[in-house]
Structure 1
Amino acid sequence: MRVEIWSDIACPWCYVGKARFEKALEAFPHREQVEVVHRSFELDPDRAKADAGPVIPMLAQKYGLSEAQAEAAEDNVGAQAAAEGLEYRTRGRDHGNTFDMHRLLHFAKEQGRQDELVQILYRANFAEERSVFTEGDERLVELAVEAGLDAGSAREVLADPAAYADEVRADEREAAQLGANGVPFFVLDRQYGVSGAQPAEVFTQALTQAWGERSPLTLIQDDTAEACGPDGCAVPQT
């Protein structure tokens, strides 16, 4: 069975949702027969590569919040991440364009290192002090090497704007065709869709239902589940 996960490195609910899905997958009896593929979805595709800025003011401006309210929202996400065993810096992070990261993830897929790289990019963005947006390509090369990729090859991919660009755009078009207007979005064997950072129990249900079944894509959706979309990420209310 194949599970495809549309997500963006800038999406905190994708970070949390991945951990919840993996908790369900770990307990799934057929987990060794499940292939996980990460698909591209940019939350801010029109943002310039050099345009990176701090998260808190961005949240405040986007949602009409005070900075104190934006900080409280980040604290809420941080608490949910911590409940999944994830580190999450609620202060001092920044936000920017993720297109190059998605291109690098497609390269990593060819090398059989995609899952390693996506987890390293999440950790670097949400848990580490250094930025994945402001330090240039060499920061991404460093992370690619940590994932087991060749530094020179990763550098060549990043230096060529066309490298894997078509693959990123194809993923994004496919997401739209499947009805995904926010992430994370999980598609199980092209039978079931799970939208948002659902509890592990929902992923367990979806894995069980999808196993061995053949039917049109059925959306399992809870409008209260946190997700990120073109207008930004859901701001939890305390």
Structure 2
Amino acid sequence: MEVWADLACAWAYVGRRRLEQARLGEDVEIVWRPYVIDPMAPVPSEPLEEELRDPVAEGALRALHPAPPPAEGRLEDGDRPRGAVWRANTFDAHRVVALAYGRGGAALQDAVVERILRAHFVEGSDIGDRATLVALAAEAGLDGMAEALDRGDGADEVRSELLRGKAEGVATSPTFAVGDTMVSGAQPAEVLADLVRHAAPRRELPDEVRWLRQAEALLDARDPLGALWILRPLLADHGDDPAVRLLAARAYFGSAQLGRARETLESLLERTPGDHYARFLLGRTLERANRLAEALPHLRLAAAMSPVPDHVDALDRVENRLADRLTV
């Protein structure tokens, strides 16, 4: 089971407790994956304003950690669950969690996740602070995090996993996935147990096919830079493949890297001049670069080969803009 969760998400902490209640058995490996609710969270962390807190989530946390009865008539502040008090950037915390799995497997990773969640939601610790993360990881049995964080270990892995989750449709924290089946939110224990029993097995695909599909999904989600990140190994090892080059060109175009898009499309059309979509995209690239006269023949060919609305509309638009220039 993969659990996609933000370590600053109260429902992730609640969801972890419900996983324990589900009693899935030792044959189920639970792996924590990154999700970021607040990508603009600052570094260093800032105090969390009261209006940004989720009262329903705070109530669920207090149900997990009820305050003990007062000793000698008074309750120490440290004995009361505090809830989150920091608006923390969790990228480094996700790196620590990823490194924990790589070094010690699911058991160590889960111990690190539990320690970070408890520190954030029960103890009011700042999990965006590296020194705090290093200490928490060591308490959970994971040493060497100060040097690892300074080296940048885990950063690429977390970025790739964040993009994979986005491409696969993860849209909330927590999301529980087994095979190709997902459920979102801090589901009751019986729902999580049913997920394990009835989930459809994941269809195994070669890495190259999986990366292509993820890049396509990210382009559909209007994340061209994320698509380019996913395409890196394919461009390195299969850069001459027409499907890879066309996806890269789409990502360059979507991220306004018009020079790279043009060069990629021109080289692609030298080999496959009959590719009407590549022809159309080259015309659009030249149009966006305000090179209308150069765009026109490509758009005419694209519209002739495949007179779909997008192709015809782009051709009409460029012809009208050129006509307006001549009139002026």
**Normalised TM-score (structure 1):** 0.71
- 3-state secondary structure, aligned to 2:30: strand
- 3-state secondary structure, aligned to 2:93: helix
* Deviation sequence 1:65-118 (CA, Å, 0-9, x none): xxxxx6x545533344348xxx98345722210001011111111111211100
Contact 1:13 1:197 in 2 (8 A): yes
Contact 1:4 1:36 in 2 (8 A): yes
* Deviation sequence 1:179-226 (CA, Å, 0-9, x none): 1111101111x232111001111112111113xx5367xxxxxxxxxx
Tell me what 1:122 maps to. 117
Backbone CA RMSD of aligned residues: 2.3
Does the C-alpha gap of structure 1 residues 88 and 183 become closer, same or farther in structure 2, counting only changes over 3 Å? farther
* Deviation sequence 1:16-36 (CA, Å, 0-9, x none): 011112211x2x4xx221111
Query: Which of 161, 176, 191 is the aligned partner of 2:180?
Result: 191
Does the C-alpha gap of structure 1 residues 9 and 214 become closer, same or farther in structure 2, counting only changes over 3 Å? closer
- After superposition, residues 30-45 of structure 1 pair within 5 angstroms as 31-45=25-39
Letter in 2 for 1:10: A
Report the Cα distance in structure 1 between the residues aligned to 2:160 and 2:188, rounded to whole angstroms: 29
Tell me what 2:278 maps to. none
Letter in 2 for 1:12: A
Report the Cα distance in structure 2 between the residues aligned to 1:23 and 1:91, rounded to whole angstroms: 22
Does the C-alpha gap of structure 1 residues 207 and 92 become closer, same or farther in structure 2, counting only changes over 3 Å? closer
Contact 1:6 1:38 in 2 (8 A): yes
Report the Cα distance in structure 1 between the residues aligned to 2:162 and 2:59, rounded to whole angstroms: 29
Query: Unaligned stretches of 5+ in structure 2?
Result: 67-78, 204-328
Contact 1:39 1:171 in 2 (8 A): yes
Tell me what 1:76 maps to. 59
Q: Which has the higher contact order (CA 8 A, sep 6+)?
A: 1
Report the Cα distance in structure 2 between the residues aligned to 1:121 and 1:34, rounded to whole angstroms: 22
Aligned length: 188
Contact 1:78 1:90 in 2 (8 A): no
Report the Cα distance in structure 2 between the residues aligned to 1:92 and 1:149, rounded to whole angstroms: 24
Tell me what 1:111 maps to. 103
Query: Which of 122, 126, 140 is the aligned partner of 2:133?
Result: 140
- 3-state secondary structure, aligned to 2:201: coil
Higher strand share: 1
Contact 2:39 2:89 in 1 (8 A): yes
Contact 2:81 2:122 in 1 (8 A): yes
Query: Which of 158, 161, 181 is the aligned partner of 2:149?
Result: 158
Contact 2:11 2:57 in 1 (8 A): no
Contact 1:81 1:88 in 2 (8 A): no
CA drift at 1:46: 2.8
Report the Cα distance in structure 2 between the residues aligned to 1:181 and 1:46, rounded to whole angstroms: 17
Asked if 1:201 is matched to 2:190, the reply is yes
Report the Cα distance in structure 1 between the residues aligned to 2:84 and 2:180, rounded to whole angstroms: 40
Contact 2:43 2:89 in 1 (8 A): yes
Contact 1:121 1:143 in 2 (8 A): yes
Letter in 2 for 1:43: I
Query: Unaligned stretches of 5+ in structure 1?
Result: 60-69, 217-238
Report the Cα distance in structure 1 between the residues aligned to 2:29 and 2:49, rounded to whole angstroms: 33
Higher helix share: 2
Letter in 2 for 1:201: E
Tell me what 2:168 maps to. 178
Letter in 1 for 2:188: P
Tell me what 2:201 maps to. 214
Contact 1:106 1:114 in 2 (8 A): yes
Report the Cα distance in structure 2 between the residues aligned to 1:186 and 1:50, rounded to whole angstroms: 30
